[in-house]
Structure 1
Amino acid sequence: MKRITSLLLVAIFGGLITLGGYKLLFEKGNTTYAWEEEMPVFQTSNKPVSSAGAGIDAVDFTTAAENTVNAVVHVKNLTISKAAPSFFDFFYGSEARQVPQVGTGSGVIISPDGYIVTNNHVIDKSTELRVTLNNNKTYDAELIGTDPNSDIALIKIQADRPLPYLAFGDSDNTKVGEWVLAVGNPFNLTSTVTAGIVSAKARALGRSDQSFIQTDAAVNPGNSGGALVNTNGDLIGINTAITSQTGSYVGYSFAVPSNIAKKVVEDILEYGNVQKGMLGISAPSVNTPYAIENGIDEIEGVYIENVEEESGAEDAGLEEGDVIKQIDDIKIRRFADLTGYISTKRPGDEVQVTVDRNGERLEFPVTLKERQSLIVPVMGLSVKNLTEKDKKLYKVNKGVKITGVPEIYRRDGLELVDNVILEVDGEPIDDIQDARIEFSKISRRGKTVITLLNKDGERERLIFQ
């Protein structure tokens, strides 16, 4: 009986397996899908995908590298400094010994007749400059001009034949994520090429109002003054700095945009100095308690905190509280966007400034003017040229007005704001350029005498030790 039952179960299971196989392999099923016509449908991007793939192999660096390496040079700077006096120098009255020091950097040939752009800090305080080309030929170089503010300098060599050179590209067209090459002479090698992408534009460093291109192309000591080029070989920047506790590359570096470098070079050649057009506004730092309390830190654009008297901004009708959104075709998201673009302009140039005023978008044509204010060296006082109103109030035609003082002087109880500086160590001060020159001569260890004039017409002499 048990045997019959077992055979029956085996037969039943065999039949089920046979029937299931037939249904699966030979019969066409009628499958119904539930679909609600009003159900929302979300489509992903249907942009065409590059057939070359998304890897680095899709970018060709060879042409840009070949066109760049021979236009990048090695710059050697010889300076003479005085060694610290020894015990014997004091005892025998000997003069301090002069010690030669050698600094190195890179440069970019920008014309076939030997003009080379480099960094100011590469050639600063040089007594002798030598340039070595990529073919190892060496030439003496002449300093043509320099602009410490942008860290750009122009030097020249006399070659016996036309030299390979790079033309300035348009750095405003550079895009974040774009491939770039950094070419320079790190570690005293011949021209060396590294690759990376543009990590950010209009990057500000510290308290500088300069605007930099940030990249992740490897830059090391000796790269300063070298070329930053795109894959077409266009010169879009001059490598200038790295931020590193060790002094070596740690993941990102910075370059002066080519539009700024080009304008500095052209000014040096045409005027002998840099012509800087000023908009005439000031903006609060976005990370201050004042900015955070008033929501300025969350604004996309540049908040106008103050409009300078007799400036292009005042003449055009810009007002305190306006938010600058755009200048010409350049979108303004932060202060470095603004300063970076204005740095490419000269006094007399006109720009179209678009602002947000209480929710209304307005456009103003602004004619840039010469700088009317600055912070003087050594003492750090903020001064400005006298306006016609100031000249009538103080009954003078020359001098500079103090508009701000460092905290150290405020702690000492000195009321210097709104006083007019007439002389520094007996030298008359006509305008801010005179103030810059005379204050730069001040020794931190010496005595300085400043002659001031207050609103009451009283003259004061302050002695700073």
Structure 2
Amino acid sequence: MKALAMLVLGFALVLAQAIAANAKIPESFADLADKVSPAVVNITTSTTVAGVEPGQGQRPIVPEGSPLEDFFKDFLDRQQEGQRPRRSSALGSGFVISEDGYIVTNNHVIDKADEIEIEFFSGDKLTATLIGTDPKTDIALLKVDSEKPLPFVSFGDSDAARVGDWVVAVGNPLGQGFSVSAGIVSQRGRALSGTYDDFIQTDAAINRGNSGGPLFNVDGGVIGVNTAILSPSGGSIGIGFSMASNVVTKVVDQLKEFGETRRGWLGVRIQDVTEDVAEALELASAKGALVTDVPDGPGKDSGIEAGDVITTFDGNEVKDTRGLVRLVGNTEVGKAVRVVVIREGKSETLKVTLGRREEAEATAVPVVLDKEEIEESKIMGMTVAVLTDDLREQLGLDASLDGLVVKDVAEDSDAFEKGLRAGDLIVEAGQQKISSVDDLEARIEDAKEAGRKSFLMLIRRDGDPRFVALSLDG
């Protein structure tokens, strides 16, 4: 028995040694640091901050000729002396990607800068020109003119990075100069707040000043651009985020060629397919992107309709809205692609020629409904009323819209939990247009008779459409 235990222990030690050998744990990152550091740069920006000229601020009213007049004038002029236009500087990092001087950094590092100075590992300094920026991915491309070829680094494949792989961050943390930190890939595919986010999370120390610097794999390939940290104190706690190189390379190529990004545009508004929405639409699984609206554009021209569920785009499976947005954005403008949709339970393939993405920023206006006497009904926890001309004017709705206005929502209802609020307009129920309470009740009865557990409605809020699935249980 003892011999067997010793045999098992010996086997475990051999196995552990084999795993350690196969993991290629480096004894040192010194060779890697020597290799890549010459291509990493410190970035100093200078910006003019507008101020208030002495004598232009608000002054207390004193009688003309009063002894206090000169006192207040001298006092306020001294107070505003520091408010004259002044120079403000900021620090960040970047890296050279070509021997002719193209440099990648974060957009927020150079945003609104009047002057951009690049300091190289050798100590040499050059003034950079801004080629282009992409605020959506927080990437900027700079260019310096050098009399000699510059050391540079190449991008690696961020999709090949695995959770647990070693990574090295190089940059200028807190303005201390060139600094190297090591860690692992903590997670991939992180999203913060951007439409095209695809961050690598790492525990390699990243601090202020590291922004725009490279995240290397052990082969010396750039697999990320250090962009943000999660920290209650402002310092590194081991949760840093680097924009994945396979996103950055596409942006850099477009900035280099056009000075701006040119992303594909499908021309639809979409939302995720939740479990209750999938049940209401009788879908096999909660996958795809549900089309909520189709304004004038490529999607409308190709026949995409509100209520369609996009399951495949250009041969790629669509898992959710985020995936579709990235697929479309990474596709070249003008390309004709095949889009597979599920419509009324059947699959259809449509051909769409992509346009160029255009953003329309809508300003949400709080809705306050008059407490006028309007014929209303209570249904599924909602108090609804037929859309009248008065309500249409209050809500700022287009004359072509019909439906039921939500006047109130019980806080203990499923409707409230799903986000319905006063001022919402119900335009469709059970994927059919409605204009009366009778229409809504009829669609609910149809869903119950069909044995469905959920009931789908299309609502509009501040002009934006959204599908909501309400439970029919009970």
TM class, shorter-chain normalised?
A: 0.5 to 0.7
Residue among 183, 200, 220 paired with 1:233: 220
Please list, as runs of the form range in 1=range in 2, the aligned pairs for 1:229-378 lying within 5 A after superposition: 229-284=216-271, 301-316=287-302, 318-325=304-311, 327=313, 332-351=318-337, 353=339, 366-375=352-361
Please list, as runs of the form range in 1=range in 2, the aligned pairs for 1:373-384 lying within 5 A after superposition: 373-375=359-361, 381=362
Residue among 194, 200, 203 paired with 1:214: 200
Could you tell me which residue of structure 2 aligns to residue 72 of structure 1?
40
Q: Is the 8 A contact 2:271 2:292 kept in 1?
A: no
> Cα deviation per residue 1:75-102 (whole Å; 9 max; x = unaligned)?
0011121346788954559684122211
Q: Distance in 2 between matches of 1:407 and 1:245?
A: 33
CA deviation after TM superposition for structure 1 residue 122, in Å: 0.4
2:95 counterpart of 1:137: no
Residues 114/315 of structure 1: CA separation in 2 closer, same or farther (3 Å cut):
same
CA deviation after TM superposition for structure 1 residue 410, in Å: 6.7
Secondary structure, aligned partner of 1:183: strand
> What letter corresponds to residue 304 of structure 1 in structure 2?
L
Compute the TM-score of the two structures, normalised by the length of structure 2: 0.61
Residues 56/49 of structure 1: CA separation in 2 closer, same or farther (3 Å cut):
closer
Q: Is the 8 A contact 2:200 2:244 kept in 1?
A: no
Secondary structure, aligned partner of 1:340: helix
2:154 counterpart of 1:154: no
Higher mean displacement: 265-274 or 117-126: 265-274
Residues 197/417 of structure 1: CA separation in 2 closer, same or farther (3 Å cut):
farther
> What letter corresponds to residue 408 of structure 1 in structure 2?
P
Secondary structure, aligned partner of 1:247: coil
Q: Distance in 2 between matches of 1:319 and 1:178?
A: 44
Q: Which runs of 5+ in 2 are unaligned?
A: 1-13, 60-72, 371-392, 400-474
Q: Distance in 1 between matches of 2:296 and 2:15?
A: 55
Compute the TM-score of the two structures, normalised by the length of structure 1: 0.62
How many aligned positions are there? 342
> What letter corresponds to residue 81 of structure 1 in structure 2?
V
CA deviation after TM superposition for structure 1 residue 221, in Å: 0.4
> Cα deviation per residue 1:261-306 (whole Å; 9 max; x = unaligned)?
222222223223221211223223689x99799699x965442232
Q: Distance in 1 between matches of 2:146 and 2:16?
A: 46
> Cα deviation per residue 1:340-397 (whole Å; 9 max; x = unaligned)?
343333312345556666777776654321124421xxxxx2xxxxxxxxxxxxxxxx
> What letter corresponds to residue 237 of structure 2 in structure 1?
V
Residue among 178, 197, 202 paired with 2:184: 197
Q: Distance in 1 between matches of 2:345 and 2:310?
A: 12
Higher mean displacement: 312-321 or 248-257: 312-321
CA deviation after TM superposition for structure 1 residue 315, in Å: 4.8
Q: Distance in 1 between matches of 2:16 and 2:296?
A: 55
Q: Distance in 1 between matches of 2:397 and 2:158?
A: 40
Could you tell me which residue of structure 1 aligns to residue 65 of structure 2?
none
Q: Distance in 1 between matches of 2:41 and 2:162?
A: 27
> Cα deviation per residue 1:132-167 (whole Å; 9 max; x = unaligned)?
111221111111222222211111112221111122
Aligned-residue CA RMSD (Å):
3.9
Residues 349/97 of structure 1: CA separation in 2 closer, same or farther (3 Å cut):
same
Residues 240/58 of structure 1: CA separation in 2 closer, same or farther (3 Å cut):
same
2:20 counterpart of 1:59: no
State the identity as a percent: 35
Residues 301/87 of structure 1: CA separation in 2 closer, same or farther (3 Å cut):
farther
CA deviation after TM superposition for structure 1 residue 103, in Å: 0.7
Secondary structure, aligned partner of 1:283: strand
